Amino acid sequence: MSLAPLPAAATPFDDVRRKVADAARLSPEELLALLRTPDPLDLAELAQIARDRHNPGPIVTFVIDTNPNYTNVCDTDCTFCAFYRPPGHAEAYTLTAAEVVARARSAAARGARTILLQGGHNPALPLSYYVELVTRLRADVPEIHPHLFSPSEIASLARYEGRTVRAVLEALWEAGLRTIPGGGAEVLTARVRRRLAPKKGGPDAWLDVMREAHRVGFRTTATMMYGHVEEDEDVVEHLVRLRALQDETGGFLAFIPWSFKRGATPLAKHVAARPAPAPTRYLRILAVARLALDNVPHVQASWFSEGTKAGQLGLHFGADDFGGTLIEENVLRAARHDNRTTTDDVIATIREAGFVPAERTTLYEIVRVFGPAKGERT
């Protein structure tokens, strides 16, 4: 993409613009300045240059998926979570492998290609339970891809079992698991994680599991939940940490940010005086993420967490993927955030944004492209 000639007296933004055009890596200081750029449309222009470098053309992908939870029991007490129940609570539950398979089979019958399965950190569940979930899903519902267990679940399981993270990952690999979701990152700085989830440990607790997973052979996603106690510097540090790990391992498929949903969470009262993040904040983070993560193939916009219009705008701020249809979702619903959509709605929304929708797999392989709607010109 050609850029207009620079004015005689170039500004720092012009220098960044030149670096983006040349595919040069941006420094943390430059990323911080971009996050604070007064005009978000400037960010959109730069982010689309980076987006087109990774994913040229008009295709925007989505996946038909489901996101049930095998247990809500958790001993970690994250302040942002309204979903979990402590061990022994009257509302605590754990699904059997047969019940998980039944939910996966139901979702597959409705077109789902992926089951994103996560739960709490349940000290009563042995490694054999997790291995059985993977084995049964692979054997009983082979048409659906198991995308299971966040890094914090894997780290907790290793601690309960007295095993290394590597040993747990290898057991899951032997059972047939190949991809791992990136939940539980929140914001990867010591200050933020200490306030949000002190029992999870600092940023290295999440990054170390991902490093080992990539070394075993897993492909994973990376996430960020913002809009609580973080500052701009925390956002940039998070992105730079992800970029450094991707330089090392190359295992991340995509980056997915979303805003904290206050709802009934314990954290809500502590951030009540802080305004909830506006959609423009989301668009800024998407754009800066696309510019920062020059080694990550995909960036996902979210209709589910941010609403259809913000998600749609995100496709013009560097995102090339529109997430999943989420046949089932419980965690954000527990925080009183409950969005619904259909495959047809996702296809129509992508088209309305000026892109060509395409269904994908968990590994971002395109399985079918949807042409223009009836009556539209190609």
Reported as a single tens digit per residue, the pLDDT across 130-171 is: 999 999 999 999 999 999 999 999 999 999 999 999 999 999
pLDDT of residue 269: 85
Residue 12: its pLDDT value, please? 74
Sign of the Cα torsion 3, 4, 7, 12 reads negative
**3-state SS, residue 115:** strand
- Size (the chain), residues: 378
* Tens of pLDDT, residues 318-371: 999 999 886 653 444 444 434 456 888 899 999 999 999 999 999 999 999 997
The backbone torsions φ and ψ at residue 91, rounded to the nearest 5 degrees and listed phi first, read: -95, 5
Of 48, 23, 57, nearest to 319 by C-alpha is 48
State the Cα–Cα distance between residues 370 and 373, nearest whole angstrom: 8
Q: What percent of the chain has pLDDT over 70?
A: 91
pLDDT of 157 reads: 97
Detail the DSSP E strand segments found in the chain.
59-63, 65-66, 114-117, 145-148, 179-180, 219-226, 252-259, 298-299, 321-324, 356-360, 366-369
pLDDT tops 50 at residue 307: yes
Q: Which of 206, 298, 302, 297 is nearest to 257 (CA)?
A: 302
**Per-residue confidence (pLDDT) for residue 137, from 0 to 100:** 98
Q: Is the pLDDT of residue 2 over 50?
A: no
Its pTM stands at 0.91
Report the candidate in 221, 227, 243 with the shortest Cα–Cα distance to residue 187: 227
Q: Which CATH architecture has domain 27-369?
A: Alpha-Beta Barrel (3.20)
pLDDT of residue 6: 36
Domain residue extents for the chain: 27-369
Identify the residue whose tokens are 């899903």: 137
